Amino acid sequence: MVQIVAMDDSNFQRKMLTKIVKEEGHEVIEAANGHEGLFKIATYRPGPCLDGPCHAQCHRY
């Protein structure tokens, strides 16, 4: 299991991304914006950080 930060200004997009990642068996730390995301990255020291599903899709390919 990997700890992943999912950050997106859109609550809907963030929840969808969180659902997908959790279904894959990972722990998700949510952040409502970039500022909160950077704070959580510094605090939790997670693995990957996903900035919304569109950004995640760019990194998959």
The per-residue pLDDT for range 10-52, each reduced to its tens digit, is 999 999 989 999 999 999 999 998 889 889 988 998 876 666 5
Q: Which fold has domain 3-60?
A: Rossmann fold (3.40.50)
CA-CA distance, 31 to 5, in Å (whole number)?
7
CA-CA distance, 61 to 19, in Å (whole number)?
21
3-state secondary structure of 30: strand
Q: Are 17 and 59 in contact (CB under 8 A)?
A: no
Q: Which of 11, 10, 16, 17 is nearest to 48 (CA)?
A: 17
Q: What is the pTM of this model?
A: 0.73
| Residue ranges of domains in the chain | 3-60
